[in-house]
Structure 1
Amino acid sequence: MPDAPSIPGASSADVPPTGALKGLRIGISVGASADLDRLGLEETRFRTLLGELARLVVSAGGELAYGGNLGQGGYTHFLVEQLREHAPSSRPLLNTLAWTEHRKLPLSELADQRERFGRYAEIVCLSVDGNPVDPAAGRGEDPVPDSGPETARSALTGMRRHLMRQVDAHLILGGRRGGFLGTLPGLVEEALLALEADLPVYPAAGYGGVTADIAGALGVDGAPEIPGPSDATPPDPRLLDGLRRLRQFTAAPDWTGLRNGLTADENERLAGSRSPGASQTGGQLLSVVVGGVVGIALVLGADVYRKSVQLTEVRLVLPGSEMTFRTNTDMRQAALRMFFQAATRVATRPLDDGSGNLREALTSLKTLFDMYREPLESDGSPPPPTEGDSVHELVLDILNFELAPFLAVWHPRLRAFEEAHPDQDETAWPDNAEFRRSLRELQQNLRPYIIGLGEIAGIRDPERHLRRSAWHTTQHADGVPEQNTPRRSTPT
């Protein structure tokens, strides 16, 4: 077994071995806690905990995801600094920027930030709906004026939905109860979206903040007793609405607890309870909470190990070829991520005539191309399997035979129109209808590949994620016909 990394604040017996979290990405919802003073704690202790958690996950082979801005002194900068000594060859942190966040930065500053983070973090800029976009599209060097509060709220929700599609589990820590820009307090909304996505959720409430309220709403005991503020400020009605919606989860007939792999005692420990005789000092509280998160790592790491020894054979009949995959955890994780990257994009979602934005559609396809190509070029990509085909061979066919030819034709054609007619709408583009027909052909060609990725990932019915209401029955005359899906063999 590989040696365990050295993590301050946790005993070596508690720290998972190197590689225990390989293939897993842990989402972090974190915000400053207004309760630190009332708990007798300091912001430096709070950040120390966050830094140790980040290093713990990365040292065990996992990755992190965080949705936040790039402001100096913010948590994105802090996490990158913490990872500099522990970062592997690939970027261990995914940072997602909401539409209103990257639009308020000059393009040169955004480029400088991406370069500064280098190999430690991948920065993904998102549309209002939460889809990756080219931040330079449709704007110049100067920041774009604020779009208004409704756009800001929609952009934050879109960013959080995107974040939940990228992670395997979600940790919640601190967070404000008021003064937020979104529809709900950020951590409350992320907790709701994580539960809706059936993700394991871990409220580490020892440092108070809205995480303590989230833990209470979800029926987790152990959150610290927090004295009320001296001014008795009434709670924000949006906070109360979010907590009510969390309690609705616990009132459902099928609710059996957080189902995050931890026992009730472990969740209580994670929520911040003190063991008998433990003092209230920040240092010992750090040990308690880190110990709880170590439990998360051990549970998830053990689950990865159990799955990694279960080999399943999947045979796919694809256009012009038949492929056989002996799937293990690495292959399933890669296929799962690639499946959902495509299943949430225009690569598989209909773009009806007269709707949508063609530039955004092309940008989405280019982003998918880059996402698929990156692991093929990464030094950290797993070696080819000793038996059967590799999922990366399947992806290489998607890139070479489908995405690359489409982008090579249509990107320069649309760019030429945009440059020649900067004041005209896309509807005036003479190739508009032809582009849409070509896009539907691309979707038709991609569909069996994407469903095949879902089969490799072990999704029970991957095609259902590609459907929308009446997808197969009410299409345009030249719409995408129902596809023959790849055939999957009985697992062995």
Structure 2
Amino acid sequence: MLAQGLIPTGALAGVRVGISVSDSDDLPRLGLANAHAELAIGEIARAVLVAGGSLVYGGRIRPSGFTQCLLHEIHRYGRSDALTLCLAAPEHRKLSRSELDSIDRQLGSKGRVVCLDERGNHIPDILKFKPPEPEDTDEAAKAPAFSALRRLMGTITDARVLLGGNLSTFAGSMPGILEEAIIAVAGNQPLLVSAGFGGAAALAARHLGIDDLGWAPSDFPRRPDDVRIDRAVAELEEAAADSGWDPRATRLETDELGQLSASHRAGEIAALAVRGLSRALS
């Protein structure tokens, strides 16, 4: 595998990499499907794990998707505590005690589930004490819980990778990938952005000065006219200015940053992302 051939084993030992990914509305017009994004995330996860790093993901269990993709990779390549799966209150409230227990058993020693309350506090022993809770259907009430989850993840990660990201439907006050990018940039963390799948990651790449997207259609990424997205983009630019965040902090060359941003090739994306992480955090 390309990433294994270029990155020495142990290059990311002790490094916790946050994964930001969701489906993008741009995939069909790029001739891509959700399976391509899952393949890319699987390759990135594998490369991080082979290099000795661990993964942090704020996901969902139902319906299945990227969480199951990450579980597959840690079972094949993960060591102890290879994945921290963080569930916001609106997500774990959908699940029965038996469903949570099943995920916990699937992870075994290779990972852990962290369930949070609405304020982002860890709920200990949830498998033992989880009450039957109705799912909160008030979308406005969910937004603070998702924001709290993302702030918590910002405190337990050393770097973040962005890929895809839905801009038309999202749970929270803004698209989750943009909020996670804001938190990473405000904390001056290395941020590796794959814009080739469109969505929120492409929007972040443009407004962080990583990629002008000159290779893409003029209306790329496709997005609705939504004040919440405008506000998120403004916050992202402000966070970068205030923290002095610089995409070159990864020490990837300019052509490597452009290649990472524009590529659709899973192996190439993974190799470049882990190369940048290893250089930035070595």
TM above 0.5, yes or no, is: yes
Which whole-Å deviations, capped at 9, do the CAs of 1:175-196 have from their partners, x for residues lacking one? 1002112011000000001111
CA distance in 2, matches of 1:80, 1:138: 25
Scaled by the length of structure 2, the TM-score of the pair is 0.89
Equivalent position of 1:248 in the other structure: 238
Alpha-carbon contact 1:93-1:122 (below 8 Å) kept: yes
Alpha-carbon contact 2:119-2:144 (below 8 Å) kept: yes
CA distance in 1, matches of 2:228, 2:190: 24
C-alpha deviation, 1:111, in angstroms: 1.7
- The one-letter amino acid paired with 1:265 is D
Consecutive unaligned residues in structure 2, runs of 5 or more: none
Is 1:87 equivalent to 2:67 in the alignment? no
Alignment of 1:125-140 (within 5 A): 125-134=115-124, 135=126, 140=131
Correspondent of 1:35 among 3, 13, 26: 26
Correspondent of 2:11 among 1, 16, 20: 20
CA distance in 2, matches of 1:58, 1:287: 14
Equivalent position of 1:286 in the other structure: 266
Q: Could you say what secondary structure the match of 1:199 adopts?
A: coil
- The one-letter amino acid paired with 2:273 is V
- The one-letter amino acid paired with 2:45 is A
- Give the direction of change, closer, same or farther, for the CA distance of 1:196–1:251 in structure 2 (3 Å limit): closer
Is 1:155 equivalent to 2:145 in the alignment? yes
Equivalent position of 1:63 in the other structure: 54
Alignment of 1:69-108 (within 5 A): 69-88=60-79, 90-108=80-98
Which whole-Å deviations, capped at 9, do the CAs of 1:208-253 have from their partners, x for residues lacking one? 1111001001011264414649xx8742221111112222245559
Q: Could you say what secondary structure the match of 2:30 adopts?
A: coil
Report the more deviating stretch, 218-227 or 174-183. 218-227
C-alpha deviation, 1:24, in angstroms: 0.6
Q: Greater CA radius of gyration, 1 or 2? A: 1
Alignment of 1:77-476 (within 5 A): 77-88=68-79, 90-134=80-124, 135=126, 140=131, 142-146=132-136, 148-221=138-211, 223=213, 224-226=215-217, 228=219, 234-251=224-241, 254=244, 256-257=246-247, 259-272=249-262, 282=264, 285-300=265-280, 303=282
- Give the direction of change, closer, same or farther, for the CA distance of 1:109–1:257 in structure 2 (3 Å limit): closer
Consecutive unaligned residues in structure 1, runs of 5 or more: 1-6, 274-281, 304-492
Report the more deviating stretch, 146-155 or 259-268. 259-268
C-alpha deviation, 1:254, in angstroms: 4.6
Alpha-carbon contact 2:84-2:111 (below 8 Å) kept: yes
- Give the direction of change, closer, same or farther, for the CA distance of 1:265–1:112 in structure 2 (3 Å limit): same
- The one-letter amino acid paired with 2:20 is S
Equivalent position of 2:44 in the other structure: 53
CA distance in 1, matches of 2:225, 2:86: 29
- The one-letter amino acid paired with 2:166 is R
CA distance in 2, matches of 1:196, 1:253: 6
Equivalent position of 1:406 in the other structure: none
Alpha-carbon contact 1:69-1:101 (below 8 Å) kept: yes
C-alpha deviation, 1:124, in angstroms: 0.4
CA distance in 2, matches of 1:176, 1:212: 11
- Give the direction of change, closer, same or farther, for the CA distance of 1:198–1:255 in structure 2 (3 Å limit): closer
Alpha-carbon contact 1:80-1:120 (below 8 Å) kept: no
C-alpha deviation, 1:91, in angstroms: 2.6
- The one-letter amino acid paired with 1:84 is H
Q: How many residues align?
A: 279
Q: How large is the Cα RMSD of the aligned pairs?
A: 2.5
- The one-letter amino acid paired with 1:21 is L
